[in-house]
A and B are shown apart, each in its own frame.
Chain A
Amino acid sequence: MREITYAEAIREAMTLEMRRDPDVFFFGEDIGLYGGAFGVSVGMFEEFGEERVRDTPISEAVLVGAAAGAAVTGTRPIVEIQFSDFITIGMDQLVNQAAKMRYMFGGRAQVPMVLRTPAGSGTGAAAQHSQSLEAWYAHVPGLKLVIPSTPYDAKGLLISAIRDNNPVVFMEQKLLYRRKGEVPEESYTVPLSKSDVKREGRDLTIVTYGRMVPTCIEIADEMSAKDGVEIEIVDPRTLRPLDAEPIIASAKKTGRVLIVHEAVQFGGYGGEIAAIIADSEAFYYLDAPIRRLGGLDIPIPYNPELERNAVPTPERIRETIQGLLA
């Protein structure tokens, strides 16, 4: 099959949906001729014109709120927030408006919008351009939250997100943008709220998402070849609403669980996964305490070696796995 990058897969999803549905349109900072800060939307302005691919001023609050306002009145906007860190400025509109309208209005409104935004460290951009704030969104009922780990998932999940009738936060992984994978040319969907077993194994479960998925798969393959250890990797893909069943099933099967994410560990999404497993019948099958490996309790530093060590490194992941298996 044809291989394209994660960024291209995202562009393809938006493009196909915009060709299919005239109600879908796209706006954000520098997404037009410039093609977006990470080049995700290159060529879309040329194809769809400035009515449907709109460059905006630097005004995150109104961008997020306008997406909600457009969505609640019958269109399907995609809004790009240039770096996920800047959501702080649009947070009121996301949390107090978009996420609340349906419930607060007694189920009589729907807000079919997608907020796309690049997240994560590893680009040398330091503390204000490198965060992974998914726990914030995951904490808000009414929002959906998707973090794809492969180009295939990125395309199929984004198409589902655009067709979904709820506000969906779609956190893209900067370090995966240039990564290639097999992606069909035609339109297809990957359903939201369906966890995916990315690698099967019997000895230990890693629950991870986003850019830590390929890292963990590499480690698992390596350990399989070297030590004959078989690690199962479960990728929730949609963090909200979560499909917990495959995670619980895997924990039951292997009896050992490691949760890995780049986001700061304290108060992070991994704590919820650990609690869900501990609260389930999988608890009785555990052979070891559930372990979490998240980012250190620091802002992301600038120096490349400091930055690399701020989030789970392959070395730390390997060590933690070995500790769990011992």
Chain B
Amino acid sequence: MATKQQTKRPPELTKEKLSDIYLKMLQTRNFEEKVAYFFSRGMVHGTTHLCAGQEASAIGACANLDESDLITSTHRGHGHCIGKGININRMMSELLGKADGYCKGKGGSMHIADLTRGNLGANGIVGGGLPIAVGAAMTLKLKKKDNIVVCFFGDGAINEGSFHESVNLASIWKLPVIFICENNQYAMSMSAKRSMNIDDLSVRASSYGIPGKTIDGNDFLEVYHAVKEAKAYAKTNGPMLLISNTYRFKGHSKSDANKYRTKEEIEEWKALDPIPRLRAWLEEEKILTATELDGIEKQAHEDIEAAVEYASNSPDPSVDTILEDVYAD
């Protein structure tokens, strides 16, 4: 795997845009660190799945999207939310189960959705989002909209029947969906190596007669380029499968003894941390100075502290709301 960023920088990646991308990657990392801390202290209940280590994949893909493009996300979805432009204060509120959270405290980490910005939601069911992405693309087609759907899922989900059914249906109807498998090498404790008889998961695309490509998901620019190309392709030709190779730094969910992987392996991947890699490239290319980059890092830290402050001061939902929102009028 290449440790160096591709150096080709497209003109739309202005200094401003790249600053925002770097900020979002850092916000994601800080968000995850904060949530990990909350859980280690037992300050929130339930469970959560952190995407620390996978930021380039989530933010790099979403950097190609505007508000009317759609995404479906997964249980490991905080990066997708931030990439799609969510309000971090209200996202933190949802995590803490507060009334002004995205789901009024009824969803939690695994169900954050922001329909106003095209985020159709995280999902507690592995592979659950793929059919929904296909349906969302049907809407785009029926309404003749020039947008796409990005469907995120994991290397575990790629073995669900819903993957096969969804990619096949999208392929015959040439629906504008980019299927992005974030291959973080494990589905809970089950490694991709043990669960599949193939090394390169992108070969599965050929079963559906669509293009498939494997990318370094820890390389922001590579992800950005691949999704940019896929977006142009999907709009006219239909779906594409991208395998974004990455790694989660934390355990599967809040509790995880890491019995299924070695310290050495974790360290190897930590050397490929997407955040310092992006920083190094931004400095090398003289897009941002060290001082500017430090400023962004400080900003990201402050944003998450502010979100914690906001969420901590938010009210809990009243028990009177428990029966609300089951049915629409």
Chain A interface residues (CB < 8 Å from chain B): 23, 25, 51-52, 54, 56-57, 59, 61-75, 77, 92-93, 96-97, 101-112, 141-142, 144, 165-166, 241
Highest count of chain B CB atoms <10 Å: which of A54, A62, A68? A62
B105 near A69 with CB under 8 A, answer no
Query: Do A23 and B142 contact each other (CB < 8 Å), given the known contacts A59-B169, A68-B131?
Result: yes
Q: State in angstroms the CA–CA spacing of A66 and B165 once bound together.
A: 10
Chain B interface residues (CB < 8 Å from chain A): 70, 72, 101-107, 111, 113, 115, 120-121, 123-125, 128, 130-143, 161-162, 165-166, 168-169, 172-173, 324-329
A103 near B113 with CB under 8 A, answer no
A106 near B105 with CB under 8 A, answer yes
A69 near B326 with CB under 8 A, answer no
Nearest-neighbour CB distance to chain A for B160, whole angstroms, equals 9
Nearest-neighbour CB distance to chain B for A166, whole angstroms, equals 5
B326 near A102 with CB under 8 A, answer yes
List the A side residues contacting B101 at CB < 8 Å. 106
Q: Which residue of B lies closest to A90 (CB)?
A: B131
B134 near A102 with CB under 8 A, answer no
B139 near A102 with CB under 8 A, answer no
Q: State in angstroms the CA–CA spacing of A61 and B134 once bound together.
A: 11
Q: State in angstroms the CA–CA spacing of A103 and B325 once bound together.
A: 5
B325 near A107 with CB under 8 A, answer yes
B115 near A92 with CB under 8 A, answer no
Q: Which residue of B lies closest to A105 (CB)?
A: B113
Given A66-B166, A97-B131, 12 additional A-B pairs, CB 8 A: A62-B131, A65-B131, A65-B166, A69-B72, A72-B132, A74-B143, A75-B138, A75-B142, A104-B113, A105-B106, A105-B121, A107-B324
A70 near B136 with CB under 8 A, answer yes
Cβ-defined partner of B128 (8 Å) among A70, A73, A77, A97:
A97
A92 near B128 with CB under 8 A, answer yes
List the A side residues contacting B141 at CB < 8 Å. 51
A73 near B136 with CB under 8 A, answer yes
Cβ-defined partner of A141 (8 Å) among B132, B142, B173, B326:
B326
Q: State in angstroms the CA–CA spacing of A59 and B104 once bound together.
A: 34
Nearest-neighbour CB distance to chain A for B206, whole angstroms, equals 18
Q: State in angstroms the CA–CA spacing of A65 and B129 once bound together.
A: 8
Q: Which residue of A lies closest to B102 (CB)?
A: A106
Q: State in angstroms the CA–CA spacing of A198 and B162 once bound together.
A: 43
Q: State in angstroms the CA–CA spacing of A142 and B323 once bound together.
A: 11
B103 near A106 with CB under 8 A, answer yes
Q: State in angstroms the CA–CA spacing of A7 and B132 once bound together.
A: 29
A62 near B324 with CB under 8 A, answer no
Nearest-neighbour CB distance to chain A for B137, whole angstroms, equals 8
Nearest-neighbour CB distance to chain B for A70, whole angstroms, equals 4
Cβ-defined partner of A108 (8 Å) among B102, B142, B161:
B102
Query: Do A103 and B132 contact each other (CB < 8 Å), given the known contacts A59-B165, A75-B143, A241-B327?
Result: no
A66 near B168 with CB under 8 A, answer no
Q: State in angstroms the CA–CA spacing of A97 and B134 once bound together.
A: 14
Nearest-neighbour CB distance to chain B for A51, whole angstroms, equals 7
List the B side residues contacting A93 at CB < 8 Å. 128, 131-132, 162
B121 near A62 with CB under 8 A, answer no
Q: Which residue of A lies closest to B72 (CB)?
A: A69
Query: Do A166 and B327 contact each other (CB < 8 Å), given the known contacts A69-B120, A97-B125?
Result: yes
A67 near B135 with CB under 8 A, answer yes
A97 near B132 with CB under 8 A, answer yes
CB pairs A–B below 8 angstroms (29 shown) = A23-B143, A62-B130, A64-B131, A65-B130, A65-B134, A66-B132, A66-B134, A66-B138, A66-B166, A67-B135, A69-B72, A69-B131, A69-B134, A70-B136, A73-B136, A73-B139, A77-B135, A93-B132, A97-B123, A102-B326, A103-B106, A104-B106, A104-B113, A106-B103, A106-B104, A107-B328, A108-B103, A109-B115, A141-B326
Q: Which residue of B lies closest to A95 (CB)?
A: B125
Query: Do A105 and B115 contact each other (CB < 8 Å), given the known contacts A23-B142, A65-B132?
Result: yes
B329 near A165 with CB under 8 A, answer yes
A-B pairs, 6 with minimum CB distance: A65-B131, A69-B135, A107-B325, A106-B104, A66-B135, A69-B132
List the B side residues contacting A23 at CB < 8 Å. 142-143
Q: Which residue of A lies closest to B134 (CB)?
A: A66
Q: State in angstroms the CA–CA spacing of A102 and B137 once bound together.
A: 20
Nearest-neighbour CB distance to chain B for A88, whole angstroms, equals 12
List the A side residues contacting B137 at CB < 8 Å. 69
A61 near B132 with CB under 8 A, answer no
Query: Do A73 and B70 contact each other (CB < 8 Å), given the known contacts A51-B142, A97-B132?
Result: yes
Q: State in angstroms the CA–CA spacing of A108 and B106 once bound together.
A: 11
List the B side residues contacting A61 at CB < 8 Å. 131, 161-162, 165
